[in-house]
Amino acid sequence: MLGNVLVIHGPNLNLLGKREPEIYGKFTLEEINKEIRNFAKKEKINVKIFQANSEGEIIDIIQRESEKWADVLVINPAAYTHTSLAIREAISSVKIPTIEVHISNIYKREEFRHHSFISPVSEGGIYGFGKKSYILGLQAAIYILKKR
């Protein structure tokens, strides 16, 4: 296997398919996770996928999995993108390469969404490609894994 990629979905992403389909689409989180697993299998990477609505739980996952398992983090921090210094510090502290992903284009939305606390501690970001943002994020993770 090429490496281990931790995927974290932030708050309210468990509501995909029901939540604002005009912004986020009609697909469910389960559909995204299935695509992630299929892509990972094809590309010979290991993935662990988590979804959490709690900021503290996301931080616990980042700390635990980066210490014992993860080589790269792909994270959609959702609303915590714009508010969470704590998640930013967790990512910065564990020092594993991080890819920030978003389903919608945060820069075409409300002004408050234009600032990310996560971007400065990430290798890069992908936004606006719907559920394919995750696959593009995994491709970026593979690029990082191959570079090391």
Tens-of-pLDDT digits for all 148 residues of the chain? 999 999 999 999 999 988 777 777 688 999 999 999 999 999 999 999 999 999 999 999 999 999 999 999 999 999 999 999 999 999 999 999 999 999 988 876 778 777 899 999 999 999 999 999 999 999 999 999 999 8
pTM listed for this prediction:
0.94
Could you tell me how far CA 132 lies from the centroid of its own chain?
A: 12
CATH number of 4-121+141-147: 3.40.50.9100
Rg of the chain on CA atoms, in Å: 14
* CB neighbour class for 26 (10 Å; exposed up to 12, middle 13-18, buried from 19): exposed
The pLDDT of residue 105: 84
Q: Among all residues, which ones are annotated catalytic?
A: 24, 102
The residue to which tokens 């094809």 are assigned:
42
The pLDDT of residue 69: 97
Domain spans of the chain? 4-121+141-147
Q: What is the largest CA-CA distance in the chain?
A: 41
The pLDDT of residue 18: 85
The pLDDT of residue 9: 98
